[in-house]
Each structure stands twice: as C-alpha cells, then as structure tokens.
Amino acid sequence: MVRARHSFLEQGHYAPLSDHINRLLLESLNPAPKPLRLLDCGCGEGYYTDRLQHTLNDNAPGSDLIGLDISKAAVRQAAKRNPAITWIVASSKSPPLAEHGLDGALCLFAPLESAALHRVLKPGGLLLVATTGPDHLLTLREAIYPEVRRNAFNPTPQLERHFSPVEQEQVQFDFTLEHSEAILQLLAMTPHQWRASAHARQNLANCQQLTIGVDVQLNLYQAR
C-alpha cells in the first residue's frame, strides 16, 4: 500500500489538492507565529508533508514540521523525501510530543484522535482535517461495485468536545489515468483494493484510460 501510494502520488494527480491544503492552512495561520510548529498526523509516505514543508520554506522560513505515522514502512519511505522534516513512528493516540506546543495539525485521510490532538495543540491552534466526499473516485468505485454508496464522513461530532469548526471547503477536480498500471496503483492505495472482486480487478487491468473525479472535504477547526 505504501509503495502504491508513493508511486501514484508521485505522478502529481493530487498536486491541486496538496496546493489547496497548503493555501488554506497558511491563510488561516496568517500572521504565522514564529517559529511556526506543525504536525502532519498519519502522514503516510509523506507526499503532503513534503509539499507543505516546501511551501513553508518559501512563506514561513524557520518553521518546524513533524510527520507522524504508526507504520514504520510508511515513515521509512517518507524520511527519504525530506530531511528538513522530523519523522516519527508513533500512534496518533499518544504522540510523543510536548503538551500544547503546536500551532497547527493536519489529519489527512487518517484516523482522528481528538483528545490527543487537543493535548499537543496550543489553545486556539488549528486542525485541518481532510475526508473524502460522496463523489470521491466515483468512476473507480463504479467499476468495482454493482451499487455505489455516496456517503461522506463528517468529522465534527467526533471533534466538537475539543474543537470549534472554523471553515469548510470542498475540493473537486478531475484527472485522467492513461494506462492500466496507474489505475491499479490508485486502486492499491485505497481500501477498495481489499474489497474489489477478482473480476473487477481484471476489468480495471484491461482498462487503458479512466477519468476520475476527486471530491475532498477540508474541515478547519480551532482548539478550544
């Protein structure tokens, strides 16, 4: 999964999403505290963390960025990307970080630990959560399932004890994959990999072109 995620993300199809995340975070942290201290919680193989660090370098030099993930394989891959980021293998349930030391945290498609994130953020610190919207990867899911559920996860009920909602944005765009290898890599970096039947996987392996929609909900919160 880490390898598939790395190979797929490196093709740049999700760069508009990463740019949107960075812009929203920096605009919301303006004026940025100095030094700015941020955590990417559940950073995976570090695609978004790395791009954020480059944006910080240009806009808020001297910032500290930490990438944390429970998967040693993911962090090993992430650490190769960018030595200017502090990479940690740990659970987001108990991040080995000082209390109330961070200005902001991201949780992108990763498990949300409300109390732990609240403990490491400063009061008033920002939390940016990315979740998939109802139409995310719809054409891929239509190729796999006879019936597609268009549910979306709302993180607010789980966070409201510790965080107040600030802003919500929906990011939607399309991209086209031109060969079956890329289509199978995309499948392998999602949980659909484990649910797709052999028949559905074979259909995708025979598919030479697929246009796919990204539908992501960005929710910004402030620590109480």
Ligand X SMILES: C[S@@+](CC[C@H](N)C(=O)[O-])C[C@H]1O[C@@H](n2cnc3c(N)ncnc32)[C@H](O)[C@@H]1O
11 or 209, CB closer to ligand X? 11
> Taking contact as CB under 6 A, which single stretch among the options 29-37, 67-75, 147-155, 178-186 is the one that binds ligand X?
67-75
Which one of 109, 145, 173, 175 is in contact with ligand X (CB under 6 A)?
A: 109
Q: Is position 129 an interface residue for ligand X (rule: CB under 6 A)?
A: no
Name the packing angle between helices 72-79 and 2-10 (round to 10°): 30
Residue 92 engages ligand X in binding (rule: CB under 6 A): yes
Tell me the C-alpha to C-alpha distance, in Å, between residue 114 and each of 52, 99, 105, 118: 22, 14, 11, 6
Binding residues for ligand X, rule CB under 6 A, total: 17
Task: Give the SS3 label for residue 142.
Answer: helix
CB of residue 34 to ligand X, shortest distance in Å: 26
| 127 bridge partner residues | 105, 221
Q: Residue from 29, 36, 44, 127 that binds ligand X (CB under 6 A)?
A: 44
- 214: which residues sit within 8 A by CB, 6+ positions away? 13, 14, 16, 17, 136, 137, 171, 172, 173, 174, 175
| CB atoms near residue 93 (< 10 Å) | 10
Q: Is there binding between residue 110 and ligand X (CB under 6 A)?
A: yes
**74 touching ligand X, by CB under 6 A:** yes
Q: Would you tell me which residues interact with ligand X (CB under 6 A)?
A: 5, 42-44, 47-48, 69-71, 74, 91-93, 108-111
